[in-house]
Chain A
Amino acid sequence: MAGTVPTTESARATTTRELATAGRAQRGPLLPILHAVMAEHGWVSDEDIAVIADVLNLSRADVHGVVSFYHDFRRTPPPAHRVQVCRGEACQAVGAQALYAAAQARFPAGGDVEVGEVFCLGNCALGPSAVLDGTLVGRLTLERLDTAAAGWTA
Chain B
Amino acid sequence: MTTVWVPCDAAARAVGADEVAEAFAAAGATVRRNGSRGMLWLEPLVEVETDAGRIGYAAVRPQYAGDILAGNHVDLGVVEDHPWLADQHRVTFTRVGRHEPTDLAAYRSDGGYAGLERALTLDPADVVAEVTTSGLRGRGGAGFPTGIKWETVRKAASDLKFVCCNADEGDSGTFADRMLLEGDPFSLLEGMTIAAYAVGASEGYVYVRSEYPDAIATLRRAIDVARAGGWLGRHIAGREGFTFDLHVRVGAGAYICGEETSMLDSLEGKRGEVRAKPPIPALVGLFSQPTVVNNVLSLATVPMILADGGEAYAALGTGRSRGTQVFQLAGNVKQGGIVEADFGITLRELIEGYGGGTRSGRPLKAAQVGGPLGAYVAGDQLDLPMDYEAFAEAGAMIGHGGIVVFDDTMDAADMARFAMEFCAKESCGKCTPCRIGSVRGVEVIDRIRSAPDADSRHQAFVLLEDLCTTMEKGSLCAMGGLTPMPVRSALRHFPADFAQNPPVDSDKNPPIVHFSSEGSTS
Contacts and interface: CB of A to CB of B under 8 A. Distances in A.
A33 B275 CA distance: 24
Given A89-B172, A122-B211, A95 B254 contact: no
Nearest to A65: B271
Given A101-B506, A125-B336, A89 B13 contact: no
B506 A122 contact: no
Contacts of A72: 210, 251-253
A138 interface: yes
B220 to A, nearest CB: 13
Interface in A56-96: 65-66, 69-73, 86, 88-95
B269 interface: yes
A124 B336 contact: yes
B506 A97 contact: yes
A141 B368 contact: no
A69 B332 CA distance: 33
Given A32-B249, A89-B404, A89-B415, A122 B212 contact: yes
B368 to A, nearest CB: 6
Nearest to B267: A28
Interface stretch (A7-15, A107-115, A126-134): A126-134
A119 interface: yes
A51 interface: no
B509 A122 contact: no
A98 to B, nearest CB: 4
A94 B513 contact: yes
Contacts of B250: 31-32, 35
A91 B250 CA distance: 24
Contacts of B402: 90, 124
A125 B330 contact: yes
Contact of B15 (A31, A101, A118, A139): A139
Nearest to B365: A93
Contact of B331 (A30, A34, A93, A118): A93
B191 interface: no
A101 B509 CA distance: 9
Nearest to B174: A124
Interface string A27-49: 11111101100000000000000
Nearest to B510: A95
A122 B169 contact: yes
B242 interface: no
B333 interface: yes
A137 interface: yes
A139 B513 CA distance: 9
B332 A93 contact: yes
A32 B205 CA distance: 13
A50 interface: no
A19 interface: no
B172 A95 contact: no
B510 A120 contact: no
B510 A97 contact: yes
B255 A125 contact: no
A88 B426 contact: no
B328 interface: yes
A123 interface: yes
A121 interface: yes
A45 to B, nearest CB: 17
B426 A119 contact: yes
A142 interface: yes
A98 B252 contact: no
A136 interface: yes
Contact of B509 (A30, A97, A121, A125): A97
B514 interface: yes
B511 interface: yes
Interface in B170-203: 170-175, 178
B41 A125 contact: yes
Contact of B211 (A89, A90, A118): A118
A98 B172 contact: no
Contacts of B271: 65-66, 69
Given A88-B372, A93-B331, A126-B43, A70 B254 contact: yes
Contacts of A73: 252
Nearest to B331: A93
B364 to A, nearest CB: 11
Contacts of A86: 172
A99 interface: yes
B512 A142 contact: yes
A125 B175 contact: yes
Contact of A125 (B40, B270, B514): B40
Interface centre among B332, B410, B518 (most CB of A within 10 A): B332
Interface of B: 10-11, 13-15, 40-41, 43, 169-175, 178, 210-212, 247, 249-255, 266-273, 287, 328-333, 336-337, 359-360, 368, 372, 402, 404-407, 410, 415, 418, 422, 425-426, 428, 506, 509-515, 518
15 contacts: A35-B210, A65-B271, A69-B273, A88-B172, A89-B418, A98-B506, A119-B170, A120-B170, A120-B171, A120-B211, A124-B328, A124-B331, A125-B330, A126-B14, A141-B512
- A-B pairs, 4 with minimum CB distance: A125-B336, A88-B172, A95-B512, A30-B269
Given A66-B270, A119-B372, 5 more contacts: A69-B254, A89-B372, A122-B11, A123-B14, A126-B515
